[in-house]
Amino acid sequence: MKASPDVTVVGAGPVGLLLACELALQGVRTTVLERLTERPDTIKAQMISGRTYQMLAMRGLGPAIDAASEQESAGLSWRPTGSTGHFAGLFKLDGLPLVMLSQQALERVLESRAAELGVEIRRGVEVVDLDLGADFVVGCDGGRSTVRALGGFEFTGTDPTLTGYQAVVDLDGDLPFGWHRTPAGVHAFGPLKGRVMLIEYDGPPATRDVTRESLETALRRVSGRDVRITHVHTATTWTDNTRQAYTYRRGDVLLAGDAAHVHSPFGGQGLNLGLQDALNLGWKLATGDSALIDTYTSERHPVADRVLRNTMAQVALTRPDPQSRKLHALVSDLLDLPEAKARISAMIQGTDIRYETGCSHPLAGKFVPGLDLSDGKGTSIVVGGEEALVRPDGYISHIGE
Ligand SMILES: Cc1cc2nc3c(=O)[nH]c(=O)nc-3n(C[C@H](O)[C@H](O)[C@H](O)COP(=O)(O)OP(=O)(O)OC[C@H]3O[C@@H](n4cnc5c(N)ncnc54)[C@H](O)[C@@H]3O)c2cc1C
In a domain, 360, yes or no: yes
Mean pLDDT confidence for 39-60: 95
Rg from Cα positions in the chain: 21
Rounded to the nearest angstrom, the gap between the alpha carbon of residue 129 and the centroid of all alpha carbons in its chain is 27
Mean pLDDT confidence for 286-305: 98
Q: What is the largest CA-CA distance in the chain?
A: 68
Return the ligand 1 atom nearest residue 262 CA. Answer: 19
Supply the pLDDT for residue 191: 86
361 has pLDDT over 90: yes
Are residues 266 and 171 both part of a single domain?
no
Distance of CA 356 from the midpoint of ligand 1 (Å): 28
Confidence band (pLDDT; 50, 70, 90) for 74? confident
User: Which of 103, 129, 132, 263 gets mutated to test ligand 1 (max ligand atoms within 8 A of its CB)?
Assistant: 103
Least trusted range by pLDDT, from 74-78, 213-217, 281-285, 302-306: 74-78
Q: What CATH number is associated with residue 206?
A: 3.30.70.2450
1 has pLDDT over 80: no
Supply the pLDDT for residue 94: 94
User: Which of 33, 141, 168 gets mutated to test ligand 1 (max ligand atoms within 8 A of its CB)?
Assistant: 141
Average pLDDT taken over every residue of the chain: 95
Return the ligand 1 atom nearest residue 256 CA. Answer: 26
Confidence band (pLDDT; 50, 70, 90) for 79? low
Say if residue 283 is exposed, middle or buried (CB neighbours under 10 Å; 0-12, 13-18, 19+). Answer: buried
Are residues 111 and 192 both part of a single domain?
no
Distance of CA 16 from the midpoint of ligand 1 (Å): 10
Supply the pLDDT for residue 84: 87
User: Which of 18, 34, 44 gets mutated to test ligand 1 (max ligand atoms within 8 A of its CB)?
Assistant: 44
56 has pLDDT over 70: yes
Mean pLDDT confidence for 213-224: 97
Are residues 122 and 171 both part of a single domain?
no
Distance of CA 257 from the midpoint of ligand 1 (Å): 8
Q: How many domains does the chain have?
A: 3
Mean pLDDT confidence for 138-165: 98
Q: Which residues, at least 6 apart from 396, have a Cβ–Cβ distance to it below 8 Å?
A: 357, 359, 361, 363, 364, 365, 366, 367, 368, 383, 388, 389, 390
In a domain, 347, yes or no: no
Q: What is the pLDDT of residues 373-394, one digit of tens each?
A: 999 999 999 998 999 999 999 9
Are residues 68 and 181 both part of a single domain?
no
Are residues 151 and 259 both part of a single domain?
yes
Of 302, 317, 372, 244, the closest CA to residue 88 belongs to 317
Supply the pLDDT for residue 63: 98
320 has pLDDT over 80: yes
25 has pLDDT over 90: yes
272 has pLDDT over 60: yes
Confidence band (pLDDT; 50, 70, 90) for 311? very high
Supply the pLDDT for residue 204: 95
Are residues 142 and 198 both part of a single domain?
no
Supply the pLDDT for residue 81: 67
Residue where a domain terminates, one of 220, 238, 256: 238
Supply the pLDDT for residue 18: 98
User: Which of 236, 258, 262 gets mutated to test ligand 1 (max ligand atoms within 8 A of its CB)?
Assistant: 258
- Domain coverage including residue 28: 7-157+242-318
Are residues 259 and 124 both part of a single domain?
yes
* pLDDT over 90, % of the chain: 91
Confidence band (pLDDT; 50, 70, 90) for 401? confident
In a domain, 328, yes or no: no
Ligand 1, atom 38: closest residue by C-alpha: 141
Task: Please list every protein residue whose CB sits less than 6 Å from any atom of ligand 1.
Answer: 10-16, 33-36, 44-47, 103, 126-127, 140-142, 146, 166, 236, 238, 257-258, 265, 268-272, 274
Are residues 251 and 295 both part of a single domain?
yes
Are residues 146 and 174 both part of a single domain?
no
65 has pLDDT over 90: yes
Contact 72, 101 (CB under 8 A): yes
In a domain, 344, yes or no: no
Mean pLDDT confidence for 173-183: 94
Q: What is the pairing mode between strands 30-34 and 7-10?
A: parallel
Are residues 369 and 309 both part of a single domain?
no
